[in-house]
Amino acid sequence: MASPAPRSLSSSSSSSSSSFCPSISPPPRSPSRASLPFSVKCNTVEPLKLVNGKPSVPILDEQSLPKFLHSKRLESSVNRSNTRLKLFSGLANPALAKEVAWYMGLELGKVKIKRFADGEIYVQLEESVRGCDVFIIQPTSPPANENLMELLIMIDACRRASAKNITAVIPYFGYARADRKTQGRESIAAKLVANLITEAGANRVLACDLHSGQSMGYFDIPVDHVYCQPVILDYLASKGIASSDLVVVSPDVGGVARARAFAKKLSDAPLAIVDKRRHAHNVAEVMNLIGDVKGKVAVMLDDMIDTAGTITKGAELLHEEGAREVYACCTHAVFSPPAIERLSSGCFQEVIITNTLPVAEKNFFRQLTVLSTANLLGETIWRVHDDSSVSSIFQ
């Protein structure tokens, strides 16, 4: 099976009142580093560089695929010219959607999305999806309510256009933190959002690194949970840090299972836990450290960074306990103020995130590295479409 020829990621801006019709144009086979703003591969050992003041994102091509995917790709059962597979993108993260389409050798479907004067969202598909397997890529990122509503309306449009199957690809699932009642008279918004997506007409959900695994149970439709840890692991492996120097740190007790699985794949690195007590939402107070980090390179792992209060206070404690360097790793970079000030204050050697959420240029800082999840999402979409195993990607 021949792999798809590399394609360039053409950028296009779109105002809220104009139509959004993403397109991918064929470029030269080997784009030069000067022609791409982000150009550090995640599986090389070259030092981190900033190009035009922007953090690095790996080039996506057959030579720079993460090792964990290189040996797992389907070579026989995938028909990459299948016209029954359609990809559509909302306005939340079109850059990621274009990269996914590039990896899959497809073009994004044409869709018109605009806002009326009163803020209402209008969606019209500009190509037929009758009998097709449709994947809608739309994280419910800030502004969460607008992007969620846009996703629901796109699902409804596909359902009314007689799509055979509709999969909501949600790289970042908003409201996931409201997954249980911790106090009286609270809502469980994660369940409500799951109901809305199901009732809109989605047949399946594909989500990345949910805040808690039980959120999958809120859906009455199949959920494919994509773990982005292999992308971060592949990048960390390129840093050349001795395994004896590493320690994986969970910033809270709730993330211990995630950190333990991560540590196991980092040559079974030791684990440390930051014990904290939260007095209010987005307010954390570090109390104690369980484990030894003295003279070690500490890798703090979390599913998301919002205001960065938890992970920054944890990093300060690690330095107090003698950690040599501290790396922050997360999948979802929400970056609500004052996250940037905290993360760039000097506590971290490097802040490693993925592009499940778009990062505004104003939020770039020297220690930031952005890794692309497009190849991981693209491979998962192919496997869902071909009724192949998804879990085998992560084994």
Query: 144-156 in b/e burial notation, b at 16+ Cβ within 10 A?
Result: bebbbbbbbbbbb
Helix, strand or coil for residue 307? coil
User: Where a domain ends, among 181, 207, 225?
Assistant: 225
Which residues, listed in sequence order, are joined to residue 328 by a DSSP beta bridge? 300, 351
DSSP 54: B
Q: Same domain, yes or no, for 216 and 267?
A: no
Cis peptide before 143 (omega within 30 of 0): yes
Which residues, listed in sequence order, are joined to residue 29 by a DSSP beta bridge? none
Show binding-site residues for Mg(2+): 209, 211, 220, 224
CB 275 within 8 A of CB 287: yes
Count of structural domains within the chain:
2
DSSP 243: G
Amino acid at 180: R
Q: Is residue 380 part of a domain?
A: no
Q: Same domain, yes or no, for 286 and 216?
A: no
Q: Same domain, yes or no, for 239 and 365?
A: yes
Q: Same domain, yes or no, for 201 and 296?
A: no
Q: Same domain, yes or no, for 121 and 214?
A: yes
Q: Judge residue 45's burial from the number of C-beta atoms within 10 Å of its C-beta, 0-12 exposed, 13-18 middle, 19 or more buried.
A: exposed
Q: Same domain, yes or no, for 191 and 270?
A: no
CB 309 within 8 A of CB 336: no
Which residues, listed in sequence order, are joined to residue 280 by a DSSP beta bridge? 283
| pLDDT tens, position by position, 126-148 | 999 999 999 999 999 999 999 99
Q: Same domain, yes or no, for 287 and 302?
A: yes
For residue 347, give the CATH number of its domain.
3.40.50.2020
User: Where a domain ends, among 164, 191, 225?
Assistant: 225
Show binding-site residues: 209, 211, 220, 224
Q: Same domain, yes or no, for 249 and 281?
A: yes
Q: Is residue 386 part of a domain?
A: no
Q: Same domain, yes or no, for 251 and 302?
A: yes
- pLDDT tens track, the chain, 395 positions: 444 443 333 333 333 443 333 333 333 333 332 333 332 333 333 333 444 454 544 444 445 555 555 444 444 344 555 679 999 999 999 999 999 999 998 999 999 999 999 999 999 999 999 999 999 999 999 999 999 999 999 999 999 999 999 999 999 999 988 888 888 999 999 999 999 999 999 999 999 999 888 889 899 999 999 999 999 999 998 888 888 899 999 998 888 999 999 999 888 999 999 987 766 666 656 578 999 999 999 999 999 999 999 899 999 999 999 999 999 999 999 999 999 999 999 999 999 999 999 998 889 999 999 999 999 999 999 999 999 999 888 87
pTM > 0.95: yes or no: no
* CA pair distance 391, 382, nearest whole angstrom: 13
Q: Same domain, yes or no, for 219 and 120?
A: yes
Classify the phi-psi angles of 311: left when phi > 0, otherwise alpha if psi is within -120 to 50, otherwise beta.
Answer: alpha
Domain holding 251, by residue range, is 228-371
Q: Same domain, yes or no, for 221 and 256?
A: no
